[in-house]
Structure 1
Amino acid sequence: MKRNLMDRMINSIEWLAAIFVGIVALNIFIAVVLRKFFSTSIPDAYDFGRMLLGILIFWGIAATSYRGSHITVDLVWTWAGPRMKRVIDVFATLVLLLVVTVQTATLFDKVRLTYTDHVLTYDLNIPTWPFYAVAWAGDVSAVILIAIRTWRLIFHPELLEEDTPQSHSTE
């Protein structure tokens, strides 16, 4: 199957989200091992942990927004016919695009304020704005992926059906 630029971008964003899951897990594992066996801790482990968790959340939103694999309530959608299902999907994705776009603008303001206020971590005095900027990049990725999903829902729904688990045979 030939992969176009959009598919490569989608896969790259999903891989980045997975990498951030690994980084958060590694941070927690190292902090626990150091505390349990060596009675010490990583300086700023709490600050790093909470900022990495924020990064993970925003990149996770990006990864799940395109696939539509997040938790949903599909009672009305299940009872609808194929045409109405598509209308519901397009409407829901447009609303999600609007909400995440506003969230992205708000988060950029947080990055800007953190930079201008020169907010630092507690122990090592590391600037926190780069962590917020990486989280914001995840939110920007979510907007891009939701826009791609909206485009495909409206003009090329067959491209989305390839990605759904129901269309893959289980042999």
Structure 2
Amino acid sequence: MDRFINGIEMIAAFFVGIVAADIFISVLLRYFFSFQIPDAYDFGRLLLGILIFWGIAATSYRGTHITVDLVWANSSPRWQRFIDVFATLVLLFVVVVHTYTLFDKVIGTYRDNVLTFDLRLPTWPFFAVAWIGDVSAVLLIAIRTYRLIFHPEAMERGYQIKPVE
């Protein structure tokens, strides 16, 4: 299971690198050579969407997203666990609904034959990769919920899962 989780985190990191390279190369070419990569804006926009959804998957499992722990920090360990489980269940519900609606967007983009501006490439594959990231988020949040309920010692804050060799 940890190998699967680490794989999703590596995919998210890969998309961070792709977005950074796209921006860097586009700015470099435009500034020094007055040349623009065809569809650079569209690719950047679509890749950023992919990055966001894969990032949601990576941060939701680890609980490393932005949190406000004022109530949690002043609660007993029993209530802290309850808050963690409740918050994760709410997050799971929201991401499941979002995944369902994003799938509808993938299908709509495919049916409408939405294309990029310059190269006229279909955009639905970008939406599909983003949707797969959202599905990964659902799986990881479900795993987090299971572990919070049945193996809370493995999900303590600050706990790091050992890398799989």
Q: Using structure 1 for the length normalisation, give the TM-score.
A: 0.92
Q: Structure 2: how far apart are the matches of 1:56 and 1:135?
A: 8
Kindly provide the amino acid, as one letter, of the partner of residue 165 in structure 1. G
Give the structure 1 partner of residue 107 of structure 2. 112
Give the structure 2 partner of residue 133 of structure 1. 128
Q: Structure 2: how far apart are the matches of 1:27 and 1:167?
A: 32
Q: Structure 2: how far apart are the matches of 1:91 and 1:165?
A: 19
User: Counterparts of 1:44-63 in structure 2 under 5 Å?
Assistant: 44-63=39-58
Q: Structure 1: how far apart are the matches of 2:130 and 2:160?
A: 33
Kindly provide the amino acid, as one letter, of the partner of residue 109 in structure 1. D
Kindly provide the amino acid, as one letter, of the partner of residue 35 in structure 1. R
Work out whether 1:165 is the aligned partner of 2:140.
Answer: no
User: Which residue of 35, 39, 51 corresponds with 2:30?
Assistant: 35
Structure 1 residues 115-134: Cα deviation after superposition (integer angstroms, max 9, x where no partner): 00000000000000000000
Give the structure 1 partner of residue 91 of structure 2. 96
* 1:165 positional shift: 2.9
Question: 4+ residue runs of structure 1 moved beyond 4 angstroms?
Answer: none
SS for the counterpart of 1:71 is coil
Give the structure 2 partner of residue 151 of structure 1. 146
User: Which residue of 60, 65, 68 corresponds with 1:65?
Assistant: 60
Q: Using structure 2 for the length normalisation, give the TM-score.
A: 0.95
Give the structure 2 partner of residue 7 of structure 1. 2
CA distance 1:167–1:54, shift in 2 (3 Å): closer
Work out whether 1:24 is the aligned partner of 2:32.
Answer: no
CA distance 1:56–1:167, shift in 2 (3 Å): closer
Q: Percent of counterpart pairs with the same letter?
A: 73
Kindly provide the amino acid, as one letter, of the partner of residue 22 in structure 1. G
SS for the counterpart of 1:122 is coil
Q: Structure 1: how far apart are the matches of 2:160 and 2:42?
A: 43
* Structure 1, unaligned runs of 5 or more: 1-5
Give the structure 2 partner of residue 3 of structure 1. none
Higher relative contact order (CA 8 A, sep 6+): 2
SS for the counterpart of 1:108 is helix
CA distance 1:48–1:158, shift in 2 (3 Å): same
* Structure 2, unaligned runs of 5 or more: none
Structure 1 residues 84-134: Cα deviation after superposition (integer angstroms, max 9, x where no partner): 000000000000000000000000000000000000000000000000000
Q: Structure 2: how far apart are the matches of 1:19 and 1:166?
A: 24
After superposition, the CA RMSD in angstroms is 1.3
Q: Structure 1: how far apart are the matches of 2:43 and 2:57?
A: 21
